[in-house]
Chains A and B, each alone.
Chain A
Amino acid sequence: MTVATIPAPAFAIETFRLDNGLRVVLAPDPGAPVVGVAVVYDVGMRSEPEGRTGFAHLFEHMMFQGSHNVGKAEHMRHVQSAGGTFNGSTHIDYTDYFNLLPANGLELALFLEADRMRGPAITAENLENQVSVVKEEIRVNVLNRPYGGFPWLKLPPVMFDTFPNAHDGYGSFGDLEAATVDDAQAFFDAFYPASNAVLSVAGDIDVASARDLVERYFGDVPHRPAPVHPSFAEPDLTAERRESYVDERATLPAVAAAWRVPDPVGETERFLPYVVLGELLTDGDASRLVERLVHRDRSATAVAAHATFMAEPFASRGPTALLIQAFLPPTGEVDTVLDTVGEELERIADGVDEAELARVKARVAAQLLRGDDSVMGRSRRLATAEIFHGDAGFAARFAAMLGEVTAESVSQAARAMTPQRRSVLEVVPGGNQ
């Protein structure tokens, strides 16, 4: 059997900072005539105010509704008329806006991102329209389907006690409907200064001329101080928490269990073994839990584990968790699955085979590289590395850092995943009835 040596992505990056505090990452790659332009703001669902659940996401929608020199829907029209695509996404700890265009659209994309960095043009009418759109998005992704929001929206309130960590980041309809233009302005003022953002450009660019364009378009975005990021820390659990709910459209029992893990940013070295452990537990038919629960015991139909709630270990802060979720056959017992997970964690705690560890690391490396296949993915990853780790170059070192994780540290991580530290959420199927 072959075990591949772990390659690192090979692309140069240049970083600099404008006087207004905007951090800039340029990553030239002449491989294809396209360019990825991403702007990441260091604000996510955790920062939205009480009574305004879902606001970070709603605000992301409002950033597409026009700005000083761009009318409603014109951002999309300009990017698409250049042959490009665009989107935005709101996460627990950040919000990103990204564009992928043929390389001749670079200047246009920089203009558009700079224009809205100076402030979106929000009207009551546009706000009302986008509240409706967001409600439809929530109906599609959460309310009208089985297992909607499981476990990423449903588990945090079991595990956490404070509003920033526990609340529903998609938002309640009541809170969304209560949002005002003034709320949007306040959110922009607090969290969207240039000094709280990273601009990242990857692809077929000339570094010197790209730098000139960045300075031309972003240089006069006013300087405003960056917000102070509060601590969202909460004490770890000392006793198991367990809840369940009935999902009327679910047909199979399901369970998610989660354990707090070290801070991905402040305690990176202690956090990384959990990333490896997640893959070792559930990536592919050779993984511990798939082999045991799905193929040997048949106590689960599918099982998946990942570090951090949205499976983005390098773009998250603490407090966060390692999650294991399983879907069971119709007559399956959640306790059996939890007990077996416990047994497998104990086996890992007793020691991990080096060959198995090497295979898992090869797989992790390949998945990271796949994220770099597209310059859009690459620009986003470079930007979040700069946001969370203060160094875009970190993105190229993730695989190597995971490669240094030792068998003993993975065992130690497994040892820490005791029943009294876990939060468990069970889905009781109400479908088929």
Chain B
Amino acid sequence: MTNAVPGLAPEVPLALPTPVERVLANGLEVTLVRRPGVPLAEVRLSIPAAHTDLAVADMLSAALFSGTDSSSMSQIAQRLQGVGGSLGAGADPDRIAVSGNCLASGLTELLGVLGEVVTAADYPEGPLSVEQSRIIDTLSVAEQQPEFQVTRALESRLWGGHPYGHQQPSADEVAAVDREAVLELHRSRLHPSGAGLVVVGDIDPDQAMADIEKTLGGWNGAGPPRRMEPLPDLRPGPILLTDRPGSVQSAIRIAYPAVERTHPDNAAQHLANLIYGGYFTSRLVMNLRESKGYGYSPRSRVDHSPAGSVQLTSVDVATEVTAPALQEVIAELRGMGGDPPDDDELDLARRYALGSVKLATATQAGVANYTSALAACGLPLSWLAEHSERLRAVTPADIKRVAVERMSPDGTVAVILADGRSVTGSLSEVAEIEVR
């Protein structure tokens, strides 16, 4: 029997594909990546949409494929289905995004559909009202989901009047949207200027570029994108307790500051977040899950958005252990500065981070998602290679420094969604809380 855990073979270097990039005359920034593998193509279109009414943007997204002046919803759906394809749209405070895929042999057809809807979507009254009802129905279910409820409370608490503070429209807001508002949003904001189109897969870039010129080259480029204002600083205060009567779990969310991807501390922040709670081997998971059994997937992540960045701990625990779980989270956070990682703990997280980049860019969908997400923050795919080099240079002293600066429990904003009757007493004994 072979008992010794084997070491690793020599490291395989990160091999990022080289995209073909071109800006069309109308301002559309096209990024094409040929990545053979399965005979599919992944498509991502991101259109800047700061300061749109999100209820209207949600309606536009839901009904974008509901018909044009020359095609019905069924015709559009059949064209996509015929090439094994699908397209969907969604909106957030920064952009309206279309995402989909098809058999690589059908990319021309899928781009044809995409070109037709962005230039001529008509939002017919019938299908639009169907989508309106569906959004409202879906929202009624979402509003019962603890994740949705706590996210809504946290965003409001974190960002207040900033557009990020209200990312999920209410049913009333959706019900108030009419067809004219959707058409007006399309006319005023759905433009290629500043928009990015990413196509990744088993494609011929020359052919794809020619198809894009043909289907999207005539898209009206008018209307400069509006800029999203930066996120405000966090305003630490008492823990906000949001009551969810009868909840058998408590959703604990703790936010703390973060720097953006281009900041010199970003690589150290990435690793500090991993060590604290960003991967299975982290302190948070080992303590809360593997030692205490408090929760299934305690975790921490860094969120990078165009308006700014933030770190977030998410822990869902049984109602009866809410207060002790909160104390453990706070202790682990404090421990990042007080008991910083040594070389071994840092190296482990570093190797994981370096490998993650390779894994995430090993698929067509992964390359498409990463390319599109980075582009939204103004960065090229090759940024991942530079980031990897910076990860290699981070020292334990760097981790301690970023932890002390941005992971202190005193600088956090916390929201807990829970059965108020069961947890208010015990939480009050361990923290200052504000019940809403």
The reply to whether B40 and A366 contact each other, CB–CB distance below 8 Å, is yes
A171 to chain B, nearest CB (A): 14
Alpha-carbon gap, A32 to B76, bound state (A): 35
Binary per-residue interface labels of chain B (343-362) against chain A in the complex, 1 for a CB within 8 Å, 0 otherwise: 00001100111111011011
Residue of B nearest to A103 (CB): B12
**13 A–B contact pairs at CB < 8 A?**
A2-B108, A3-B82, A32-B358, A76-B280, A100-B359, A107-B8, A132-B294, A136-B296, A251-B141, A284-B86, A301-B137, A330-B137, A366-B101
The reply to whether B39 and A34 contact each other, CB–CB distance below 8 Å, is no
Alpha-carbon gap, A81 to B350, bound state (A): 8
The 7 closest A-B pairs by CB, nearest first: A83-B355, A366-B84, A132-B293, A286-B77, A32-B362, A285-B77, A104-B9
Q: Out of A29, A139, A146, A302, which one reaches B249, CB within 8 Å?
A: A139
Alpha-carbon gap, A101 to B359, bound state (A): 7
The reply to whether A111 and B5 contact each other, CB–CB distance below 8 Å, is yes
With known contacts A81-B351, A285-B65, A146–B81 Cβ distance under 8 A: no
Question: What residues of chain A lie closer than 8 Å to B102, measured between beta carbons?
Answer: 4, 366
Residue of B nearest to A129 (CB): B293
Q: Out of A81, A84, A146, A370, which one reaches B141, CB within 8 Å?
A: A146
Alpha-carbon gap, A144 to B8, bound state (A): 42
Known contacts A140-B296, A366-B84, A370-B365; can you find 12 more A-B pairs with CB under 8 A? Answer: A3-B82, A5-B105, A9-B38, A34-B359, A101-B355, A103-B9, A108-B7, A133-B290, A139-B316, A359-B82, A369-B39, A374-B363
The reply to whether B140 and A78 contact each other, CB–CB distance below 8 Å, is no
With known contacts A108-B6, A144-B247, A286-B74, A431–B144 Cβ distance under 8 A: yes
Majority secondary structure of chain B interface residues (helix, strand, loop or mixed)? mixed
Q: Is B10 on the interface with A (CB-CB < 8 A)?
A: yes
Alpha-carbon gap, A285 to B362, bound state (A): 31
The reply to whether B144 and A105 contact each other, CB–CB distance below 8 Å, is no
Q: Is B73 on the interface with A (CB-CB < 8 A)?
A: yes
Q: Which of A395-433 contact B (CB under 8 A)?
A: 431-432
The reply to whether A362 and B84 contact each other, CB–CB distance below 8 Å, is yes
Q: Out of B2, B249, B351, B353, which one reaches A144, CB within 8 Å?
A: B249
Q: Out of A2, A9, A81, which one reaches B82, CB within 8 Å?
A: A2
Q: Out of B35, B74, B246, B351, which one reaches A291, CB within 8 Å?
A: B74
Alpha-carbon gap, A216 to B2, bound state (A): 8
Q: Which of A20-28, A66-74, A384-392 contacts B (4 or more CB under 8 A)?
A: A66-74
Q: Which of B238-295 contact A (CB under 8 A)?
A: 246-249, 279-281, 286, 289-295
Q: Is B80 on the interface with A (CB-CB < 8 A)?
A: yes
Alpha-carbon gap, A356 to B409, bound state (A): 59
Question: What residues of chain A lie closer than 8 Å to B65, measured between beta carbons?
Answer: 285
The reply to whether B294 and A136 contact each other, CB–CB distance below 8 Å, is yes
The reply to whether A137 and B37 contact each other, CB–CB distance below 8 Å, is no
The reply to whether A217 and B2 contact each other, CB–CB distance below 8 Å, is yes
Chain B positions within 8 Å of A, measured between CB atoms, are 1-15, 35-40, 65, 73-74, 76-86, 101-103, 105-106, 108-109, 127, 130, 133-134, 137-138, 140-141, 143-146, 246-249, 279-281, 286, 289-297, 316-318, 347-348, 351-356, 358-359, 361-366
The reply to whether B15 and A33 contact each other, CB–CB distance below 8 Å, is yes
The reply to whether A365 and B84 contact each other, CB–CB distance below 8 Å, is yes
The reply to whether A111 and B2 contact each other, CB–CB distance below 8 Å, is yes
Question: What residues of chain B lie closer than 8 Å to A132, measured between beta carbons?
Answer: 292-294
Q: Which of A317-344 contact B (CB under 8 A)?
A: 327, 329-330
B199 to chain A, nearest CB (A): 15
The reply to whether B10 and A432 contact each other, CB–CB distance below 8 Å, is no
Residue of B nearest to A8 (CB): B39
Alpha-carbon gap, A70 to B290, bound state (A): 15
The reply to whether B130 and A295 contact each other, CB–CB distance below 8 Å, is yes
Alpha-carbon gap, A378 to B320, bound state (A): 42
Q: Is A130 on the interface with B (CB-CB < 8 A)?
A: yes
The reply to whether B101 and A102 contact each other, CB–CB distance below 8 Å, is no
The reply to whether B40 and A108 contact each other, CB–CB distance below 8 Å, is no
Question: What residues of chain B lie closer than 8 Å to A364, measured between beta carbons?
Answer: 84
Binary per-residue interface labels of chain A (259-286) against chain B in the complex, 1 for a CB within 8 Å, 0 otherwise: 0000000000000000000000001111
B286 to chain A, nearest CB (A): 6
Alpha-carbon gap, A360 to B84, bound state (A): 8
The reply to whether A4 and B6 contact each other, CB–CB distance below 8 Å, is no
Question: What residues of chain A lie closer than 8 Å to B290, measured between beta carbons?
Answer: 72-73, 129, 133
Question: What residues of chain A lie closer than 8 Å to B9, measured between beta carbons?
Answer: 103-107
With known contacts A101-B355, A132-B294, A359–B281 Cβ distance under 8 A: no
Question: What residues of chain B lie closer than 8 Å to A242, measured between beta carbons?
Answer: none
The reply to whether B317 and A373 contact each other, CB–CB distance below 8 Å, is no
Question: What residues of chain A lie closer than 8 Å to B109, measured between beta carbons?
Answer: 1-2
With known contacts A129-B291, A129-B293, A147-B141, A363–B38 Cβ distance under 8 A: no
Q: Is A346 on the interface with B (CB-CB < 8 A)?
A: no
Q: Which of A353-377 contact B (CB under 8 A)?
A: 358-360, 362-367, 369-370, 372-375
Question: What residues of chain B lie closer than 8 Å to A112, measured between beta carbons?
Answer: 5
The reply to whether B354 and A252 contact each other, CB–CB distance below 8 Å, is no
Question: What residues of chain B lie closer than 8 Å to A144, measured between beta carbons?
Answer: 146, 247-249
Q: Out of B81, B348, B356, which one reaches A77, CB within 8 Å?
A: B348
Binary per-residue interface labels of chain A (294-324) against chain B in the complex, 1 for a CB within 8 Å, 0 otherwise: 1100100110000000000000000000000
Question: What residues of chain B lie closer than 8 Å to A102, measured between beta carbons?
Answer: 11-12, 355, 358-359
The reply to whether A32 and B15 contact each other, CB–CB distance below 8 Å, is yes
Q: Is A181 on the interface with B (CB-CB < 8 A)?
A: no
Question: What residues of chain B lie closer than 8 Å to A347, measured between beta carbons?
Answer: none
Q: Specify which of A2, A101, A112, A298 lies most central, judged by the most chain B CB atoms within 10 Å of its CB.
A: A2
Residue of B nearest to A283 (CB): B81
Alpha-carbon gap, A144 to B109, bound state (A): 43
Q: Out of B15, B83, B295, which one reaches A136, CB within 8 Å?
A: B295
B431 to chain A, nearest CB (A): 22
B333 to chain A, nearest CB (A): 21
B293 to chain A, nearest CB (A): 3
The reply to whether A370 and B362 contact each other, CB–CB distance below 8 Å, is no
A141 to chain B, nearest CB (A): 8
Q: Specify which of B77, B81, B130, B294 lies most central, judged by the most chain A CB atoms within 10 Å of its CB.
A: B81
Question: What residues of chain B lie closer than 8 Å to A220, measured between beta carbons?
Answer: 1
The reply to whether B3 and A1 contact each other, CB–CB distance below 8 Å, is no
Question: What residues of chain B lie closer than 8 Å to A145, measured between beta carbons?
Answer: 144-146
Alpha-carbon gap, A137 to B328, bound state (A): 20
Alpha-carbon gap, A146 to B293, bound state (A): 24
The reply to whether A204 and B289 contact each other, CB–CB distance below 8 Å, is no
Q: Is A128 on the interface with B (CB-CB < 8 A)?
A: yes
Residue of B nearest to A377 (CB): B363
Residue of B nearest to A369 (CB): B38
